[in-house]
Structure 1
Amino acid sequence: MERAGLDGIDQSILAELTKNARVPHAVLASKVMLSRNAVRQRIERMERQGYIQGYTVVAGGENQDSVSAFLMVYRKDRMRGADVLSALRAIPEVVLCDVLSGDFDLMVRVEARTLGRVQEIWEEIAAIPGVADTVTAMTLSNVIRRRPAQ
């Protein structure tokens, strides 16, 4: 998908950041064949232009529709389930993970480009060793969406 105002290298950087928003600049630089400093400068420019907001890639520099879901996750061992948390941290589309009281242990919010990707993530989470069960609720619309007060 071509984005106005971005060249091919910028688009490659965004594609890599979409796959893994935590990719080190040095690794990213080797993938797009630029210096680490040049990659950093391009990322900073795209942040200023709004293509990258809060380490989330936003196509076109403006909010775009995405598919989101909440997964309620029950771990097999509630007190020693750090392996589940580590696995969730590795999924870039996981934008929220809260530990809960009550029946389920975790509330996980997933935001992805397609419904198919949400399903892939759900399957990935369900297959994590230590996950006993999940319940999924798809988001139909966002009524209130605020950034936390700073």
Structure 2
Amino acid sequence: MDAVDRQILNRLVVNGRASLTDIATEVSLSVPAVKRRVTRLERDGIIRGYTTIVAEPGNSRIHALVEVFCTEHAQREDAVRLFESRPEVRLAYTVAGDSDLILLVRTDNADHLEQLLIDLRSHPIVLRTRAQLMLNSLIDRVTL
């Protein structure tokens, strides 16, 4: 992947519906050349898909970062099984630091968040959790 590929990717991150013509103009390539690069990036798994991001009216949902502290015998596969069955878990990362995992979760309300935390803590690999509610978004962008 070279600098031109990164320019194309950044443009698609900002606007996944950007036309190949617009992208070609921005990166000073022909449309067929941009098409070949996008196709290659898709084939190589660099571009894994395209999506629509829907704004939630009135910020009615609760977003939280949840730190998960696991038993010393917890395996990565155990965590994957636990979280993939929970649609509230939007992202899950293993991390270096005090906690073992950090989750980005989205729930309908505080009661829903509380129940999610109770459910997580009842799992055998989870020792404890610590949650931080996200109040306002200051910057929301994806970078490469």
> What interval of TM-score do these two structures reach, taking the shorter chain for normalisation?
0.5 to 0.7
Give TM-score scaled by structure 2 length.
0.56
For structure 1, list consecutive stretches of 5 or more residues without a partner in the other structure: 1-51
Q: Equivalents in 1 of 2:71, 2:81: separation in Å?
A: 15
CA contact (8 A) 1:70 1:109 kept: yes
- Partner in structure 2 of residue 7 of structure 1: none
In structure 2, list runs of 5 or more residues that go unmatched.
Answer: 1-50
Letter in structure 1 aligned against 2:56: N
Could you say if the C-alpha distance between residues 91 and 148 of structure 1 is closer, same or farther in structure 2, counting changes exceeding 3 Å?
Answer: farther
For residues 1-150 of structure 1, the aligned pairs below 5 Å read 53=52, 58=54, 62-64=55-57, 65=59, 66-77=61-72, 80-147=75-142
4+ runs deviating over 4 angstroms: none
CA contact under 8 A between 1:78 and 1:105: conserved in structure 2? Answer: no
CA contact (8 A) 1:72 1:108 kept: yes
Identity of paired residues, percent? 21
Match of 2:45 in 1: none
RMSD over aligned Cα, in angstroms?
Answer: 2.1
Cα distance change on mapping 1:148 and 1:115 into 2, 3 Å: farther
TM-aligned CA distance change 1:148 to 1:120, over 3 Å: farther
3-state SS of 2:120 partner: helix
Distance of 1:140 and 1:78 partners within structure 2: 34
Higher relative contact order (CA 8 A, sep 6+): 2
The alignment covers a number of residue pairs equal to 92
